[in-house]
Amino acid sequence: MQKTTNNIAHIIVAAGSSSRLGSPKQLLAWKNSTLIGHEVEKSLQLKNLTTFVVLGANFELIQKEIKHFSVEILYNQNWKSGMGSSISFGIQHIMEVQRSFDAALITLVDQPLIDTIHLDSLISKFNKNKDTVVATAIKDRRGVPAIFPKTFFKELLGLKEDYGARHIMKKYKDHIMTIDGKGKTDDIDTIEQYNVLLKRDKE
């Protein structure tokens, strides 16, 4: 694990309604926990991070699963607007409570194969390139998990639609560094995808 890191806010985006799944994906079983519990546990293993979890749909139900962890739980009442609104909501909060964060690490609750080794690699690369977005290489594109330096916070505040930070990465594509996702970036939208990832995790 990284011995010394910058002061990074880790924003876990977990506000969606899981409409295609039919039940809250955040509460699906994963290892000895749930998807949301697993994501929080990964975050707490990293050094010098402050963890924020953005919830929305099924807030009361999901927050019970993680309220015992040392994290700050945020409620995005505008979650129906999509992932972009949850990212901007998290960024707005960290700018209000503490303006000294060097960067924000953004992860999604439904990419359970992403491990702490990958997240720590992102942090290590960011420590050496503190003014650069460090994203995950996913096939032919760049995506999350990704670390955005504080100079990008104002742009992240402007996100509103359901496409996360993709257009920011496209805009600055020549100024982004990447770490290979190594096939671990698949996400879960359906029960079929969940079952596939469960099987892969046990292999």
Return the CATH number at 190.
Answer: 3.90.550.10
Q: How far is CA 35 from CA 43, 140, 168, in A?
A: 13, 26, 27
Domain membership of residue 159 (yes or no) is yes
Token pair for 27: 């509460």
pLDDT at 50: 94
Residue located via tokens 């926990």: 33
pLDDT at 161: 67
Say if CB 173 and CB 132 are below 8 A apart.
no
Domain membership of residue 3 (yes or no) is no
pLDDT at 163: 67
Domain membership of residue 2 (yes or no) is no
Domain membership of residue 65 (yes or no) is yes
pLDDT at 173: 83
What CA–CA distance (Å, rounded) separates 122 from 147? Answer: 7
Report the amino acid identity of residue 127.
N
Domain membership of residue 35 (yes or no) is yes
Say if CB 175 and CB 132 are below 8 A apart.
yes
Q: How far is CA 72 from the centre of its chain?
A: 14
Domain membership of residue 85 (yes or no) is yes
Scanning the chain, the segments in alpha helix (DSSP H) are 35-45, 59-66, 83-97, 116-128, 153-157, 166-171, 191-202
Question: How many CA within 13 A on the CB side of residue 7?
Answer: 7
Report the amino acid identity of residue 112.
P
Domain hosting 34: range is 8-202
Domain membership of residue 19 (yes or no) is yes
What CA–CA distance (Å, rounded) separates 141 from 135? Answer: 10
pTM over 0.85: yes
The parts of the chain modelled with pLDDT lower than 70 are 1-6, 98-99, 161-163
Domain membership of residue 14 (yes or no) is yes
What CA–CA distance (Å, rounded) separates 55 from 65? Answer: 12
Provide the domain count of the chain: 1
